[in-house]
Amino acid sequence: MKPARDYIIFPLDVPSIDEAKQYVELLADDVGMFKVGLELFIQAGPEIVKFIHAAGSTGIFLDLKLHDIPQTVSRATGRVADLGVAFITVHCGESRRMLEAAVDGSQGKVGVLGVTVLTSVSAADIQAAGFRSDFHSDLSRLVLQRAEMAKSAGCAGIICSGLEARAIKANFGPDFVAVTPGIRPLWSVTEGDDQQRITTPAQAIADGSDYLVIGRPIRDAEDPKEAVKQIIQEIESVI
Ligand code: C5P
């Protein structure tokens, strides 16, 4: 069984490389992985990836949420393959070919994760976007359909909410990685929160999540290190 800290992915959702470096130095011994998303990668590029590598053994999740024609996506994951990161994200979207291209481009050097349905998306959003009624009456159906596409394309796993983790594990087995954002410890208060499908760390782990993306509850805490400590205790209570 992996230690509790290895379940935690902290997103470096900050606008500057200097702020990102401060969080890396502060939390490198406390979390399992740092997530570099669009905001930081646009600002800092591969330099921040090199900095995290140099700071210790913490893994890196490059969350670029690619979505383009297969050739473009394949060429992009080909470049990511040489960065030494653990995971890259690609939207499941409409075509399995794009996911297959992402996996081909990755050359087995980085795990491709399919983004199923963003945790900020609600059933009302899916209805407004024109999806079939069985998808908006039960969002997990759409998540599972997209996960099936990702699995058959050779992806290492998917991003889903903690609410769907149990069904993902039941349908696709223990080795198909489930990464869950939208994590809110009971003590966290995130004003104007855009997350819709949320779970606590304990619930997500109990339901089979392999990794929890936890951002604002740590980043905006008065003491981020103490917030991580509390989350680790909560995870330890269920593993
Ligand atoms: O915990 P918090 O809501 O602050 O986490 C936000 C992070 O989770 C962002 O980096 C966002 O990109 C990521 N996220 C994700 N997939 C989703 C929803 C959010 O990777 N479905």
pLDDT at res. 7: 98
| Active-site residue, selected from the candidate residues 2, 21, 50, 65 | 65
Q: Residues 185, 199: contact at Cβ < 8 Å? A: no
User: The tokens of 93 are what?
Assistant: 């979207």
Domains and CATH numbers, the chain: 4-236 (3.20.20.70)
Mean pLDDT, the chain, integer:
95
Average pLDDT over residues 148-168: 96
Please identify which residue in the block is written with the tokens 């209570």: 237
pLDDT category of residue 193 using cuts at 50, 70 and 90: confident
The arithmetic mean of pLDDT across residues 109-135, rounded, is: 93
Whole-number Å distance between alpha carbons of 72 and 77: 9
Residue 229 clears pLDDT 90, i.e. is over it: yes
The span from the CA of 37 to the CA of 15, in Å, is 10
Separation of CA 43 from chain center: 20
pLDDT at 112: 98
How remote is the CA of residue 213 from the centroid of ligand 1, in Å?
Answer: 7
Q: Is the pLDDT of residue 237 over 90?
A: yes
Amino acid at 44: A
Of 125, 130, 178, residue with least CA distance to 150: 178
Residue 192 has pLDDT above 80, yes or no: no
At 180 the three-state DSSP class reads: strand
From the list 229, 224, 200, 190, the residue with the least C-alpha distance to 23 is 224
Give the C-alpha separation, 159 to 3, whole Å: 21
Cα 197 → chain centroid: 14
Q: In the numeric block, which tokens belong to residue 130?
A: 């024109």
pLDDT, position 119: 84
Which atom of ligand 1 is least distant from the CA of 183?
1
What is the CA(197)–ligand 1 centre distance, in A? 11
CA of 8 to the centre of ligand 1 (A): 13
- Tell me how far CA of residue 71 lies from CA of 7, 52, 99, 113, 155, in angstroms: 33, 29, 11, 18, 17
Asked if 21 contacts 54 with a C-beta cutoff of 8 angstroms, the reply is no
Q: Is the pLDDT of residue 94 over 80?
A: yes
On the question of pLDDT at 190 being above 70, the answer is: no
State residue 4's pLDDT score. Answer: 97
CA 204, CA 181: separation in Å to the nearest integer?
10
Question: In what helix (H) or strand (E) does residue 166 lie, and over which residues does it extend?
Answer: helix 162-172
How far apart are the C-alpha atoms of 103 and 143, rounded to whole Å? 20
Read off the pLDDT of residues 5-57 as tens digits, 9 standing for 90 and up: 999 999 999 989 999 999 999 999 999 999 999 999 999 999 999 999 999 88
pLDDT(126) > 90? yes
- Indicate if 65 belongs to the active site: yes
